[in-house]
Chain A
Amino acid sequence: MLVNKSKRALTVMAGMTALLGATGAAADYALNLTPGVTPISHEAHTLHMLILKVCFGIGIVVFGTMFISILRHRKSRGVQPAQFHESTAVEIVWTIVPFLILVGMAIPATKALVAMEDTSDADLSIKVTAYQWRWGYDYVDNGVSFISSLSTPKDQIYNKAAKDENYLLEVDNPVVVPVNKKVRLLITSNDVIHAWWVPKLGMKKDAIPGYINEMWFKIEEAGTYRGQCAELCGKDHGFMPIVVVAKSEADYAQWVADQKGAAVADQQAAQRTWGKDELMARGEKVYSSTCAACHQANGEGVPGAFPSLKGGAIATGPVAAHLSRVMNGKPGTAMAAFAGQLSDTDLAAVVTYERNAWGNNTGDLVQPSDVKAAR
């Protein structure tokens, strides 16, 4: 009876799955861990398959015995119960055999772990700094440095626009690395604990304030690999993806050169005096990627949690105090210090934007040179 019922249950489940499969358009029904694209992820996958098989094996023996018992040893078949209740020999066997199985699994696991934790002899080191809710990358070897934020438009999140293929897994500035090079990440955090994880790379590591954690990967094939923050880090924990682009060595060198060129152009731009329109345009961009998560796109914040900038005391008060708040943050709150995250031009633009958007019309312009002077 029990078996019949569970069969029926399975049929119902299968039916439901099929029905839903027909409706879920872009969903894929992946069942298992993928082997990934790094030596580490291959090892993790191999181990995963090994344990999975061991568990299936034990499961078949234990549940099989149980089901035979359920089918045969039932009162309705007129069975008289046996009265045995111990057997030292059997009990010793089923203590020792599982122990040996565990030893058999611990040996490859230990080997894999030793390999994964070996971050020595890296070809390239990137410092990863987590912020609520974006990632900062500093290439230790060549000075390239940028912030990487979610690029999915709000309209897609709030179901006002169709979701594209990489919904929530797309960023403005991906991390670019060369293939077949050992890349070491030095991971830390500026505020709360986050975790850097790209499933296909086979490793995740927490980003913890006050710590510099290490992990490494060596990507075997060029491509784009996507992941997410994996440690609850507040409101927008679900909205701080990671995108890694692996390129051939030549393409990577070209990318580094481009980044350096852009950085030089940015520095030159910070020397000149900016007009209001260009400050506002750039400010809006910076605001929406950096500030809008808390203070909202309309500047009204969230009552009780994040103050309103629209007509706010700071955004319409003295310029110096406003700039200082943005650069230095407010300790003990979610308001971070952005001096280290944003360039002089971006800071000037975003403060100008906040002082003139949403009817704040203070008319104040903040120049990159003002920010430089305030540093």
Chain B
Amino acid sequence: MSTATTHDTHHEEHPRGLMRWITTTNHKDIGTLYLLFSLMMFMVGGAMAMVIRAELFEPGLQFVEPQFFNSMTTMHALVMIFGAVMPAFVGLANWLIPMMIGGPDMALPRMNNWSFWILPFAFAILLSTLFMDGGAPAGGWTMYPPLVLQTGNAFPFLIFSVHLMGISSIMGAINVIVTIVNMRAPGMTMMKMPLFVWTWLITAYLLIATMPVLAGAVTMLLTDRFFDTSFFNAAGGGDPVMFQHIFWFFGHPEVYILILPAFGIVSQIIPTFARKPLFGYSSMVYATASIAFLSFIVWAHHMFTVGMPLTGELFFMYATMLIAVPTGVKVFNWVSTMWRGSMTFETPMLFALGFVIMFTIGGFSGLMLAMAPVDFQYHDTYFVVAHFHYVLVTGAVYAIMGAAYYWMPKWTGHMYNEKLGKLHFWLSTISVNVLFFPQHFLGLAGMPRRIPDYSVQFAGFNEISSIGGFAFGLTQLLFVYIVYRTIKGGEKATDQVWEGAHGLEWTLPSPPPYHSFSTAPEVK
């Protein structure tokens, strides 16, 4: 037996069964944990959305009481944002960044383990509030005081679970930055990094900059409630609007945290299936950085109706409109990448194209919302609900699903079932538009968001939207089945998997070895 083999077996020694997953410091194991956790939360949050759509199927109260309905909208948002979308991106970062930059693993493996294992506890705490006296938090995921201070026994649990999620995200972000800065293979200069790595690097900085702000805001809520401080209590000299400023200073960069990695994913997928290099690589990097910078100076566009001075409203309107420029650059670059390519339309490409079209629709409604004088009409209506679901579901979630199909053969060594994948895409795309497109009309006709019951004029489109919702929800069970089948078996995947794929991760075997690159690859 050669020394090399002994060396290898030594490295392969790790606990088996459950202990493997609890003690693992391996980026692939942790990536898998993140992704499966995210899928589970996607189903939990989805079940809550089904309750919402069932209650809104027709006017009147049928299934749930208004307080529980408000809990559902609140928990749906928290679970989907912090439990489904963010962990999915961290999972993808874990799996892909070391392989893409030619490193063996993440830079801080033990912290990596910890940042994941905090999450199940955070969400166990959050979801346990459903069974508490006074019910789960019902003041909206934005937690505006004074309303959130009326939460029952669930209140401190809400605050602490948000703290835990924040700690987990910050540690994940530190790990990503340290890995990207230190672990790149020789020759992998910053401007050669795949766009997914670039977008995640920028996202990680956004996380580190804003998560502590959220933690501060919710801590002030906690002391207002239990220790008689008056940060946000007008009667004690505090200011309820101050909370909104602090919250959205976190909240707006947060929405880019939810979309920048998606931009990165789409920028990986489209060139592969167009068999043509990404158009405008450097402008993509600069556009991402500009969006990240602008995200810090637009927060009050969520608050046009709080009674800001005219100059404040004008500033935030102009700054917000400006974001359309770098975002437009990205969309134009994707379309130019496709132009005169040689395209095929496997499932990941379908999701990427769906992303470009429907994210752009969400971008258009975003531009409309940026215009303060009309926002007074759109604000807090279903138009807003339609807008952010277009950017988050057909944006972020579509990119994540595209990524899952794109890299699953690499991760598992098996091809997924292409027919089922395409079926999943088409059913999702039809149903998601039946679900969310009519919500634009509802908002323009004057239906406020976060209401359990509505006047009869809104009945028609709510019915259509609910049908789309149920169909979309059911379709995602197909996705779970496809993932399960692919993990279990399937046609053997080649190393390169896709004909047009470029990048270091495709030079590794499928599935890749436990430690991605034990010797650094050469990057030309």
**B306 contacts A80, C-beta separation under 8 Å:** no
Which chain A residue has the least Cβ–Cβ distance from B461? Answer: A29
29 A–B pairs (Cβ distance < 8 Å), ordered by A:
A20-B464, A24-B460, A25-B459, A28-B460, A30-B457, A55-B364, A66-B338, A73-B339, A74-B343, A75-B275, A75-B344, A76-B344, A82-B341, A84-B279, A99-B325, A109-B372, A113-B314, A116-B376, A157-B61, A192-B144, A204-B305, A205-B307, A209-B240, A210-B240, A214-B307, A232-B449, A238-B448, A238-B453, A305-B134
**B444 contacts A33, C-beta separation under 8 Å:** yes
Q: Which of B148-202 contact A (CB under 8 A)?
A: 149-150, 152
The tally of CB-CB contacts under 8 A between chains A and B is 318
Which chain A residue has the least Cβ–Cβ distance from B273? Answer: A75
The stretch from A43-51, A137-145, A318-326, A349-357 touching chain B is A43-51
CA distance A307 to B275 in the complex (A): 67
Q: Mark A80-92, 1 if CB is under 8 A from B, else 0.
A: 1111111100110
Other-chain contact of A157, B60, B240, B367, B445 (Cβ < 8 Å): B60
**A234 contacts B357, C-beta separation under 8 Å:** no
Interface residues of B (CB under 8 A from A): 59-62, 66-67, 70, 133-135, 138-140, 144, 146-147, 149-150, 152, 234-235, 239-241, 274-283, 305-307, 310, 313-314, 317-318, 321-322, 324-325, 328-329, 331-332, 335-345, 353, 356-357, 360-361, 364, 367-368, 371-374, 376-377, 379-381, 426, 429-430, 433-434, 441, 444-446, 448-461, 463-464, 467
19 more A-B residue pairs beyond the given contacts A17-B464, A63-B360, A85-B277, with a C-beta to C-beta distance below 8 A: A20-B460, A27-B456, A27-B459, A59-B361, A79-B341, A80-B342, A82-B276, A84-B340, A91-B280, A91-B283, A95-B328, A98-B328, A112-B373, A163-B456, A206-B307, A211-B241, A232-B70, A237-B448, A305-B134
Which chain B residue has the least Cβ–Cβ distance from A99? Answer: B325
Q: A26-B459, A66-B356 are in contact. Are A12 and B430 (CB under 8 A)?
A: yes
**A85 contacts B280, C-beta separation under 8 Å:** yes
**B70 contacts A73, C-beta separation under 8 Å:** no
**B340 contacts A81, C-beta separation under 8 Å:** yes
**B430 contacts A235, C-beta separation under 8 Å:** no
**B368 contacts A48, C-beta separation under 8 Å:** yes
Any B CB within 8 A of the CB of A292: no
Say what secondary structure dominates the interface of chain A.
mixed
Any B CB within 8 A of the CB of A373: no
**A73 contacts B60, C-beta separation under 8 Å:** no
Q: Which of A151-192 contact B (CB under 8 A)?
A: 156-159, 163, 165-169, 191-192
Chain B hits for A43, CB < 8 A: 373
Q: Mark A228-264, 1 if CB is under 8 A from B, else 0.
A: 1111111111110000000000000000000000000
**B460 contacts A27, C-beta separation under 8 Å:** yes
Chain A hits for B373, CB < 8 A: 43-44, 47, 109, 112-113, 116
Any B CB within 8 A of the CB of A265: no
Which chain A residue has the least Cβ–Cβ distance from B327? Answer: A98
**A238 contacts B459, C-beta separation under 8 Å:** no
CA distance A26 to B306 in the complex (A): 34
A316 to chain B, nearest CB (A): 24
CA distance A52 to B377 in the complex (A): 14
Q: A13-B430, A47-B374, A193-B240 are in contact. Are A210 and B280 (CB under 8 A)?
A: no
Other-chain contact of A81, B62, B274, B283, B379 (Cβ < 8 Å): B274
Top 10 nearest A-B pairs (CB, nearest first) are A210-B234, A27-B460, A238-B451, A27-B459, A213-B307, A304-B133, A199-B446, A112-B373, A55-B364, A82-B340
Chain A hits for B332, CB < 8 A: 62, 94
Most buried by B among A27, A86, A193, A195: A27
Q: A94-B328, A95-B325, A209-B235 are in contact. Are A227 and B377 (CB under 8 A)?
A: no
A330 to chain B, nearest CB (A): 12
**A66 contacts B335, C-beta separation under 8 Å:** yes
Interface residues of A (CB under 8 A from B): 1-2, 5, 9, 12-13, 16-17, 20-21, 23-33, 41, 43-44, 47-48, 51-52, 55, 58-59, 62-63, 65-66, 69-70, 73-76, 79-87, 90-91, 94-95, 98-99, 102, 105-106, 109-110, 112-114, 116-117, 156-159, 163, 165-169, 191-193, 195, 197, 199, 202-206, 208-211, 213-214, 226-239, 302, 304-305, 332-334
B449 to chain A, nearest CB (A): 8
Chain A hits for B317, CB < 8 A: 106, 109-110, 113
CA distance A321 to B322 in the complex (A): 59
Other-chain contact of B278, A85, A110, A117, A197 (Cβ < 8 Å): A85
Other-chain contact of A20, B149, B340, B343, B463 (Cβ < 8 Å): B463
Chain A hits for B433, CB < 8 A: 9, 13
B320 to chain A, nearest CB (A): 10
CA distance A110 to B240 in the complex (A): 27
Other-chain contact of A113, B152, B307, B372 (Cβ < 8 Å): B372
**B329 contacts A85, C-beta separation under 8 Å:** no
A241 to chain B, nearest CB (A): 8
Which chain B residue has the least Cβ–Cβ distance from A117? Answer: B310
Q: A29-B460, A52-B368 are in contact. Are A74 and B342 (CB under 8 A)?
A: yes
**B66 contacts A235, C-beta separation under 8 Å:** yes
B434 to chain A, nearest CB (A): 6
**B335 contacts A206, C-beta separation under 8 Å:** no
A233 to chain B, nearest CB (A): 6
**A232 contacts B463, C-beta separation under 8 Å:** no
Other-chain contact of B342, A17, A75, A238 (Cβ < 8 Å): A75
**A167 contacts B455, C-beta separation under 8 Å:** yes
**B441 contacts A59, C-beta separation under 8 Å:** no
Chain B hits for A117, CB < 8 A: 310, 313
Most buried by B among A12, A114, A205, A230: A230
